[in-house]
């Protein structure tokens, strides 16, 4: 089961949509065929009024749940993009301010900044796609901070320059930690369980309706399950922003 979940999170969106839609629609068709064989539509039709009332209530609850979850993951995605842009901007600012630092540690600091960018792109980004907490850049930033702390301070101008530079390094630490937290904190499993149970309940209510025309009933049920699958695909696609 976890292998399927990991595969879905790593698959392209179109492939993810096809898999989720196939499972949802296929399960709906199977459920409708089984229910129609066990419980004939003439007997189910007498309960349509009561079932319609219940599905209206369940539908509202499910819609609120899905919309809340969608807003949550979209907010996380926006936050992740903001952190990435701010981190890149902070690195660029540090690279510009390196030229104002006193020697002899200027070259080492510039090298550590370049290493930080390389580590984030080549090591941490693949780790975040695997839902792992990246730590490589933290070690590079620690070395960068030590180099900045070892800079010689000859006058007040050097003190102010190095102090401002260290503050930017601390800000970069915070941005890195925020990005790392978002990489490992997705939607909780209990939330996914509730969403899946709600989806099954919605499809079950649609299947249990008694409709005279079986083809129309099948088509409407499949459209409902397909709509639910699209909503689930959207949530899965933006749940892990990296």
At 109 the pLDDT is 80
Q: How many residues does the chain have?
A: 242
Rounded distance between C-alpha atoms, residue 118 and residue 112, angstroms: 10
Write out pLDDT tens, residues 126-146: 777 776 777 777 788 888 778
pLDDT of residue 1: 45
Backbone angle region of 160, left / alpha / beta, with phi > 0 → left and psi within -120 to 50 → alpha: alpha
What's the chain's average pLDDT? 79
Q: What token pair was written down for 33?
A: 């065929």
CA angle at 198 for the pair 197 and 200, rounded to the nearest 5°? 65
Tell me how far apart the alpha carbons of residues 69 and 52 are, in angstroms, rounded to a whole number: 25
Return the pLDDT at 3. 53
Q: Give residue 8's pLDDT band: very low, low, confident or very high (50, 70, 90).
A: low
pTM: 0.70
pLDDT tens across 93-130, in order? Answer: 888 877 777 666 777 888 888 888 888 888 877 777 77
Higher pLDDT, 73 or 4: 73
Average of per-residue pLDDT across 24-47 = 79
pLDDT given for residue 16 in this prediction: 79
Distance CA 227, CA 62 (A): 13
């Amino acid at each position: 089961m976890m292998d399927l979940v990991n595969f879905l999170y790593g698959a392209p969106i179109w492939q993810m949509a096809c898999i989720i839609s196939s499972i949802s629609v296929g399960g709906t068709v199977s459920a409708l065929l089984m229910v129609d064989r066990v419980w004939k539509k003439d007997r189910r039709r007498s309960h349509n009024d009561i079932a319609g009332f219940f599905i209206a209530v369940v539908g509202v609850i499910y819609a609120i749940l899905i919309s809340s979850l969608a807003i949550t993951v979209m907010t996380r995605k926006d936050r992740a993009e903001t952190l990435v842009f701010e981190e890149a901007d902070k690195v660029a600012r540090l690279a510009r301010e390196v030229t104002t630092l006193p020697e002899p540690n200027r070259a080492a600091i510039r090298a550590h900044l370049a290493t930080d960018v390389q580590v984030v792109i080549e090591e941490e980004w693949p780790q975040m796609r695997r839902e792992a907490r990246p730590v490589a850049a933290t070690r590079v930033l620690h070395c960068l901070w030590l180099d900045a702390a070892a800079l010689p301070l000859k006058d007040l101008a050097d003190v102010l320059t190095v102090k401002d530079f260290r503050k930017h390094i601390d800000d970069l630490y915070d941005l890195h930690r925020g990005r790392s937290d978002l990489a490992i904190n997705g939607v909780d499993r209990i939330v996914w369980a509730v969403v899946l149970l709600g989806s099954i309940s919605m499809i079950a209510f649609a299947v249990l309706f008694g409709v005279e025309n079986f083809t129309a009933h099948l088509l409407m049920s499949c459209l409902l399950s397909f709509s639910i699958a699209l909503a689930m695909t959207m949530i899965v696609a933006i749940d892990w922003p990296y």
